Amino acid sequence: MSASTPRLGDRKPKVLVAKLGLDGHDRGAKIVARALKDAGFDVVYLGVHQTPENVVKTAIEEDVDAIGVSILSGSHIELVSELRKLMKERGIDIPLIVGGIIPPSDTQLLKSMGVFEVCGPGTPLRKIIEIYKKAIEIRRGEKI
């Protein structure tokens, strides 16, 4: 492990990446998961066709520091609403980052629902990695 590998106390930060909904296009989510892993994060990749319930269940089981979901189907408002509802019900207070085809007009709505950041197509991987780092640092109150 290099000196630049992010750490949270005695462990690497751990993130969950998933494709919510029925959309099967997972290339972007896989690229983000690989970039986070290459940057030193532990990554739990759930793949396609995930439900909000399964994302929350896995986040609890894996004790992740952040959740990243990719949504290209246009149902981002409904899926994020259900995901945030379940997170709240289960007491999960960790950052949620949303990526995919999200109309700019929906970004503020998603943030008002508790999304930490929205990353659209073309967001540089370096910026996405920094968003995850910042989200986890704010949540944990600890520099990584």
- If DSSP states are collapsed to H, E and C, what string results for the chain? CCCCCCCECCECCEEEEEEECCCCCCHHHHHHHHHHHHCCCEEEEEEEEECHHHHHHHHHHHCCCEEEEEECCCCHHHHHHHHHHHHHHCCCCCCEEEEECCCHHHHHHHHHCCCCEEECCCCCHHHHHHHHHHHHHHHHCCCC
Across 74-82, average pLDDT: 95
Question: Which residues are tagged catalytic?
Answer: 23, 25
CB 99 within 8 A of CB 131: no
Res 1 pLDDT > 50: no
Res 3 pLDDT > 80: no
At the fourth CATH level, which superfamily is domain 14-123? Cobalamin-binding domain (3.40.50.280)
Res 76 pLDDT > 80: yes
Amino acid 5: pLDDT: 66
Q: How confident is the model at residue 144 (pLDDT cuts 50, 70, 90)?
A: confident
